[in-house]
Amino acid sequence: MEIVYVYARRRCDFGRPCNFSDRPAELHVDVLPDPALAADFVRRDPCDVAVQCAQEMSEHEVNTERFESEARGINHVEGGWPKDINPQEMEQTIRFRKKVEKDENYLNTVMQLGTLMEHCIKQNNAIDIYQEYFEDEEEMVDSRERPSAKTINVFRDPNEVKRTATSLSWHPDGSRKLAIAYSCLEFQRAAKNMSFDSYIWDIENPSCPEMTLKPASPLVCLEYNPKDSHILLGGSYNGQIGYWDTRKGSQPVETSAIEHGHRDPVYKAIWLQSKTGTDTFSASTDGQVLWWDIRKMSEPTERLVLDLGRKGNLDNALGAISLEFESTMPTKFMVGTEQGLVVSCNRKAKTPAEKIVCTYSGHHGPIYALQRNPFFPKNFLTVADWTARIWSEDIKESSIMWTKYHMSYLMDGCWSPVRPSVFFTVKMDGTLDVWDYLFKHNDPTLSLKVCDEGLFSLRVQDSGALLACGSQLGTATLLEVSPDLSTMQRNEKALATAMFERETKREKILEARQREMRVKERSRSEQSKEDEGRDTDAGDESAEQLLARAERDFFEIVGAELKKRELEAGQEQIGAEELAGYFLTSYQANGPGCQ
Amino acid sequence: MAEVEETLKRIQTQKGVQGIIIVTAEGIPIRSTLDNASTVQYAGLIQQLVMKARVTVREMDPQNDLTFLRIRSKKNEIMIAPDKDYFLIVIQNPTD
């Protein structure tokens, strides 16, 4: 069926010529100067004006194109022989050599050079001119220089369509390599031609990655096996877990089956400590924590549903975003959830109900990072919403220390492996903060803007001096912090211990006090309820009565406020009129032209 | 001929000397106390280095010329005495 619109006009109405005509100008708006506005300004006398007589200069930046370099070796072959002598033939070469040795020139030269050489050899034997003096003296690390960090290298995503660098992992020995997982975490925003690859970079060569990992779906997290540096574990966006062997190529050696894996992106996968070195576990927002043995990836060895009701109900489960496992405490592990709770679990519990030991609440948003302090395993750091908090395992109601609320979301954080009181955090506005809690609690000791887009992930190398952070457009920046942030200061461990203990004690006291007050309240309300119970009807007020009471209270309060405001306004007006009257009289008395 | 032998013997017996190589200016090893593979490698690499060093010295001052070259590494020291037609290379491990 065609949809048709028909309209009819008379022919004489079409194509009418425009008939422009002149007319005099019309004044539409006239804003006259208002001398009353001058009262808002104050005459400034004298004014400071800066004048400079110098050449005009402008600043320009130039950046050369990235050049790709590759290291190649050269193979040396014997050469230099005269044309008629074949170097492979022993006879010919020996004959040549004998001839040269009979040469007069040769003899003289060798004598000369010989004496010269002997002189130098004897010199060497007499004194070691390269001896290192004062080797045993320790460097005085008392420099008062301010802490700083500088960018050493930037690794950009070589693909056209930029993806977020969601996870970084340093190579376990030597840390010359960095594995970065790239994916697009925004729901359904991934472009159709987005590449799924993740890369391993050599930190000396930022122009092209050393190795590519090709998963079936973009990787959200990536971890090197701390025992075997050729194996990497990756969790991908479609819920699969796979492991790669760098000796075997870019394809995963094995991946988990989709039916038995997670139903949401795998946000974190960690290697466990075990005799075989093949145990891992992974967490995802579908509410499950699964244990895997990489030798048999077809299904998980164990499963835990994060249901606080301890019933294993997936619908009630909390989504997990981060995992924490410390090899010094192999039976415990912690899970950071999307709902802002940290769940502490016991691996060795007999029944699934006992697996979840306790929860720590206090955050308002998903917990993006969770890590125990490498020096004080009882204290752990969580990074979520707009703050970073430090907790003690014993205190479950609140954190013992926390940073102030920032203007942008904190996305990742980690402790420094060399200093117990230093930790790093990254934010959505592209800044990296270095916090030294012994030095200052309120602000970061060092705050650096690394890039314009948001920073998503952060990882410190084991030496404590280098750290890498990944951004939303796939750029990973490698920074080096100044030595005073990466070497342990004197007494630092003792001071940090004292600080943590002090804060823990403070929280304990507060908690105890809270509990006391609650008990008192309860006992008081119980008493009053008993009294009331005798007067009024048994049973609670019905919902409607509650509503009516609430409305009445509300209107009373509003009415009272309004009346108060009117009174105040009335007083102000009276005050204003008085003031105006005073000025007027003074002006008239003194005449215009005086302030 | 005998003096050459004597000189080389004297150098060889000095403390810490690991090897001696005599090379022509084109890089052909004439005499060596090391194995063939090392000799050839040293000959090739050092010849280029001496050329470069000589050019460097002469460019700074055309009247100047290279008389001796010492390369100190972590494990040993390579000493090169260059001449117009031949080089004498000695590898020594200094005492310390």
Going residue by residue through chain B, which has 96 residues, state the pLDDT in tens, using 9 for 90 and above.
788 888 888 888 888 889 999 988 888 888 899 888 888 888 888 988 999 999 999 999 999 999 999 998 888 889 999 988 888 999 988 765
| Token pair for A249 | 């190529």
CB-CB contact of A380 with A370 (8 Å): yes
> Looking at the predicted structure, is the pLDDT value of residue A410 above 60?
yes
Distance of CA A83 to the CA centre of its chain: 66
Decide if B86 and A110 are in contact by the 8 Å CB cutoff.
yes
Segment A353-357 mean pLDDT: 75
| Token pair for A533 | 């119970």
Does some domain include residue B23? Answer: yes
How many angstroms separate the CA of residue B61 from the nearest CA in chain A?
23
CATH number at residue B30: 3.30.450.30
Decide if B30 and A113 are in contact by the 8 Å CB cutoff.
no
CB contact set of A412 (below 8 Å; sequence gap of 6+):
A368, A369, A383, A425, A426, A455, A456, A457, A458, A469
Does some domain include residue B9? Answer: no
Q: What is the pLDDT of residue B80?
A: 93
Tell me how far apart the alpha carbons of residues A453 and A515 are, in angstroms, rounded to a whole number: 45
Does some domain include residue B4? Answer: no
Q: List chain B residues with CB under 8 Å of A120.
A: 68, 70, 79
DSSP-based three-state secondary structure for A88: coil
DSSP-based three-state secondary structure for A256: coil
Interface TM-score (ipTM) > 0.85: no
For residue A63, what are the CA distances in angstroms to A66, A117, A155?
9, 50, 16
Task: Give residue ranges of A with CB < 8 Å to any B CB.
Answer: 76, 78-81, 96-97, 100-102, 105-107, 109-118, 120-122, 124-125, 128, 130-131
Domain that holds residue B88: 16-92
Does some domain include residue B47? Answer: yes
Q: What is the pLDDT of residue A541?
A: 56
Distance of CA A588 to the CA centre of its chain: 67
Decide if A101 and B1 are in contact by the 8 Å CB cutoff.
yes
CB-CB contact of A465 with A424 (8 Å): no
Tell me how far apart the alpha carbons of residues A47 and A543 are, in angstroms, rounded to a whole number: 70
Tell me how far apart the alpha carbons of residues A400 and A189 are, in angstroms, rounded to a whole number: 39
For residue A233, what are the CA distances in angstroms to A269, A279, A326?
7, 11, 17
Q: List chain B residues with CB under 8 Å of A111.
A: 3-4, 7
Cβ neighbours of A281 (radius 10 Å): 24
CB pairs under 8 A between A and B: 98
Does some domain include residue B11? Answer: no
Nearest residue to A283 via CA among A301, A299, A303, A298 = A303
Using CA atoms of A322, A326, A331, A333 in order, give the dihedral in degrees to the nearest 10.
-20
Does some domain include residue B5? Answer: no
Does some domain include residue B74? Answer: yes
How many angstroms separate the CA of residue A85 from the nearest CA in chain B?
12
Of B27, B72, B79, the CB nearest to A117: B79
Q: What is the pTM of this model?
A: 0.61
Does some domain include residue B1? Answer: no
Q: How confident is the model at residue A538 (pLDDT cuts 50, 70, 90)?
A: very low
> Looking at the predicted structure, is the pLDDT value of residue A594 above 50?
no
Segment A165-175 mean pLDDT: 84
Domains and CATH numbers, chain A: 159-509 (2.130.10.10)
Q: How many domains does chain B have?
A: 1
